[in-house]
Amino acid sequence: MKTSHYSYQLYADPEMAESFDAMRFSGPIGRLLADSQEQVIASFLEPLKATRILDVGTGTGRAAIALATRGARVTAVDASPQMLVVARRRASHAGVTVEFGEGDAHHLPFPDRAFDSVICLRVLMHTLDWRRSLAELCRVSVDRVVFDYPSLSSFAALQSAARHAANLAGGHTEAYRVFSDRSVRDALRSSGFAVARVQRQFVLPIGLHKRIGSAAATTTVERLLRRAGLNWLLGSPVTVLAKRCAS
């Protein structure tokens, strides 16, 4: 059953829902991660005013709220009712309107091309069937889909392998998957979409940057690595703007 998968069990915990933002986005690196991702997504989806956007796997609603603040008409779904409780509260505190509801990335409850754009962040790496989920994102979008993934060619691949090994040894971790660029392009092509723009965030592991704890140091080091050409080889997570191909 789907509920036996960690991606459903973990985020059904009210304590996890309440602490999620603090774990992911607290501290200087967490804030840098969130702010830079928000800017990239906004640039990928401009113009945002009155645009119909679906946020799949919204979690605590961070991206949905940011887009609504910029004038988009946002619908946001998540498989976890507990996460949605937090998301609704955060939207209320932010003074923005987002239509939240339960929804699974594998079976989105919307007709074809119901939204101008669809976003899906930190989700495909955890889904049971990422290709089916990506096909669903494409199905309900008129033109644009924005999503991200940890790259097979990055340091994230080492962490992913370590987590899978820990699970085989009886541990309980989020044993997420990593993706090759080719597999992503092929899956998009099957749904009539193609990669239009790509942004690769960090060369060094996010965990390492968090241990250092300096946004200035992270910005400087990553700028140097980018100038050396390593970002295109090792950068992760990869955020993709995909557009529907002309028929």
Q: What is the pLDDT of residue 238?
A: 94
**Alpha carbons 22 and 43: distance in angstroms, whole number:** 26
For the chain, first and last CA: distance in Å? 38
Structural domains in the chain?
A: 2-150+177-201+238-244 (3.40.50.150)
pLDDT of res. 148:
96
Phi and psi torsions of 143, nearest 5°: -140, -40
Dist. CA 104–CA 94, nearest whole Å: 25
pLDDT tens, position by position, 200-229: 999 998 888 988 999 999 999 999 999 999
The answer, yes or no, to whether residue 93 has pLDDT greater than 90, is yes
At 120-154, the pLDDT tens digits run 999 999 999 999 999 999 999 999 999 999 999 88
Return d(Cα 40, Cα 73) in angstroms, integer: 18
Report pLDDT for 1.
Answer: 40
